[in-house]
């Protein structure tokens, strides 16, 4: 399968969401060797008859496990080595993705080989290959990006309040942020539109927002403080 010039090449996905103020990662129980029965990242081989490129592979693999496409998908990096796979020198191209918990949970509760695991528990588990290290790297990237970009919004449903947005950011970066700072960024980015509807939240009714269709993700020139 892998000759000298062409190492084993796979795709893996680190799909994150935030559920009850906890950052979760999607893991699947491996049905095939190596590491059969072990939990690991959803991924697999490129199928050149189906996939136009590696991003298509990543989306296809995620769809197989969640029945949906994630709201955000980005290349993380590749991980490679002669030792990381018992079959020989291997390269895995890792994507990381974000989705809202509501989108996916309905489906994964019907199967028992796919599960959300809290990031804090992952480090105590024994995962297939170097997937523990991969998840750690993906989290570092997500955390950094949450400091200057609006991508955490893709952990939320299509309609959300500022309070929910603040909560997912704080969960990802592990630090409280100023509500006011987030509001300023929401206004400056012009990425969001207020919806003509409010929703109860334990106090005063909260304004609902949505992402404007077709907008680009805005990056800021400063980070939130850590």
Total of residues contacting its own copies (CB under 8 A)? 34
Contacted entry of its own copies, DNA, none for residue 45, CB cut-off 5 to 8 Å set by kind: its own copies
Q: For residue 153, give both structure tokens.
A: 């919004």
Least gap, CB of 144 to DNA (angstroms): 14
7 binds its own copies (CB under 8 A): yes
Residues 147, 223 contacting (CB under 8 angstroms): yes
Least gap, CB of 95 to its own copies (angstroms): 10
Closest CB to its own copies among residues 159, 223 = 223
126 binds its own copies (CB under 8 A): no
Residues 162, 12 contacting (CB under 8 angstroms): no
116-121: long-range contacts at Cβ-Cβ below 8 A with a sequence spacing of 24 or more?
A: 116/17, 116/19, 116/24, 116/25, 116/26, 116/27, 117/24, 117/25, 117/26, 117/27, 117/39, 118/22, 118/23, 118/24, 118/25, 119/16, 119/22, 119/23, 119/24, 119/25, 120/22
Total of residues contacting DNA (CB under 7 A)? 26
192 binds DNA (CB under 7 A): no
48 binds its own copies (CB under 8 A): yes
Query: Distance (Å, rounded) from C-alpha 200 to C-alpha 220?
Result: 31
Binding interface with its own copies (CB under 8 A):
1-9, 45-49, 51-55, 75, 77-78, 80-82, 88-89, 91, 93, 147, 221-223, 225
Binding interface with DNA (CB under 7 A):
161-163, 177-181, 183-185, 188, 198, 200-207, 220-222, 224-225
């Amino acid at each position: 399968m892998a000759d000298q010039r062409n190492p084993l090449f796979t795709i893996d996905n680190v799909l994150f969401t935030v559920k009850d103020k906890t950052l979760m990662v999607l893991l699947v129980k491996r049905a095939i060797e190596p590491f059969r029965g072990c939990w690991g990242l959803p991924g697999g081989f490129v199928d050149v008859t189906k996939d136009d490129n590696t991003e298509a592979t990543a989306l296809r693999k995620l769809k197989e496990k969640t029945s949906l496409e994630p709201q955000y998908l980005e290349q993380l990096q590749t991980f490679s080595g002669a030792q990381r796979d018992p079959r020989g020198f291997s390269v895995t191209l890792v994507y990381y993705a974000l989705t809202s918990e509501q989108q996916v949970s309905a489906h994964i509760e019907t199967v028992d080989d796919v599960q959300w695991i809290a990031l804090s528990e992952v480090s105590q588990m024994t995962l297939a290959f170097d997937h523990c290290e991969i998840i750690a790297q993906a989290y570092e990237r997500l955390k950094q990006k949450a400091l200057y970009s609006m991508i955490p919004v893709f952990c939320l449903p299509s309609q959300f309040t500022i309070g929910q947005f603040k909560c997912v950011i704080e969960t990802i970066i592990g630090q409280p942020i100023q509500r006011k700072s987030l509001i300023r960024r929401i206004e400056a980015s012009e990425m969001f539109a207020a919806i003509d509807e409010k929703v109860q939240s334990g106090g005063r009714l909260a304004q609902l927002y949505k992402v404007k269709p077709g907008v680009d993700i805005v990056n800021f020139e400063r980070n939130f403080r850590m």
